[in-house]
Structure 1
Amino acid sequence: MGAPKEIVQRAYEAFGRGDVPAILDLVGDEVDWEFVASAGLPYAGRRTTRDEVAAFFADIPRADQIHEFEPREFIEAGDHVTVLGWEKSTALDTGKTFESEWVHVFTVQGGKITRWRGFFNTAARYGK
């Protein structure tokens, strides 16, 4: 099963390989997954099933080309893991390359991710 931090690290390793099925294997049957951003961002919003989480991962490359994506710090507190990171991406709708720090907050129960929140500087993406 693994400790929450280990489960989360495995998810990032899978993301780095582009292995979405491996990520989905780490997601619970019931999940509360939300990228907090304006509704205009295709991957923003809440998802509650594995299929919807799969759609989240499909929406990312339709909106942004990720050049560099670095989880930098993992902070574990019981069932919760907060990850601080950084990315450099290009917004495909504007062609603008942007950099942003990001925060992802996970809850892991029974060896599965049951809750996720993602945040980054959307103003950097939109050039504001």
Structure 2
Amino acid sequence: MTTPLSIVQAAYAAYGRHDVNAILDLVADKVDWKLVGPPQIPYTGQRNDKAEVATFFTQLEQTDDTLLFEPREFIESGDHVVVLGFLRGTARAEGKLIETEWVHVFTVVDGKIRRWRGFADTAARFI
């Protein structure tokens, strides 16, 4: 049986393989996808469909060099999954090492990710 937790875990496994197409297969055609952060970071802001989510991943890849991306805890409640994790990477433009904990909040309906919110210390790249 497919559960919201299994969908979210499959998305992280696909990200670990750098398989954006597999992630997009798990995303609803119309989605509410947003990384909260300042507009100076190209991949922050609202995305509303699969093409825009694909752009999110392209911009992420072009902007930062991820050294460690580690989901550490999964908390499931009905259609919602909250994931707590840690990131270490380099902001290419600033040449700065970033280390931050992050929180991702998913809503999964009918086997598809319908909503995603990402929160991290985006100010760490500018300090």
Where on the TM-score scale, by shorter chain, does this alignment land: which range? over 0.9
Unaligned runs of 5+ in 1: none
Moved over 4 A (4+): none
CA distance in 1 between partners of 2:114 and 2:105 (Å): 11
1:79-90 equivalences in 2 (<5 Å):
79-90=79-90
CA distance in 2 between partners of 1:21 and 1:42 (Å): 20
Match of 1:123 in 2: 123
CA distance in 1 between partners of 2:30 and 2:94 (Å): 35
Match of 2:33 in 1: 33
- How far did residue 43 of structure 1 move? 0.2
Question: Number of residues paired by the alignment?
Answer: 127
- How far did residue 25 of structure 1 move? 0.1
What percentage of residue pairs aligned between the two structures are identical? 57
What is the letter of the counterpart of residue 36 of structure 2? V
- How far did residue 126 of structure 1 move? 1.6
Match of 2:58 in 1: 58
CA distance in 2 between partners of 1:49 and 1:78 (Å): 23
1:88-107 equivalences in 2 (<5 Å):
88-107=88-107
CA distance in 2 between partners of 1:56 and 1:50 (Å): 10
CA distance in 2 between partners of 1:30 and 1:81 (Å): 19
Please state whether the residue corresponding to 2:98 is helix, strand or coil. strand
Please state whether the residue corresponding to 2:113 is helix, strand or coil. strand
TM-score (norm 2): 0.98
TM-score (norm 1): 0.97
CA distance in 2 between partners of 1:61 and 1:53 (Å): 13
CA distance in 2 between partners of 1:34 and 1:123 (Å): 17
Superposition CA RMSD, Å: 0.8
Unaligned runs of 5+ in 2: none
Match of 1:42 in 2: 42
Partner deviation per Cα, 1:36-95 (whole Å, 9 max, x = no partner)? 000110000000010000000000011110000000000000000000000100000111
- How far did residue 125 of structure 1 move? 1.8
Match of 2:13 in 1: 13
CA distance in 2 between partners of 1:125 and 1:84 (Å): 20
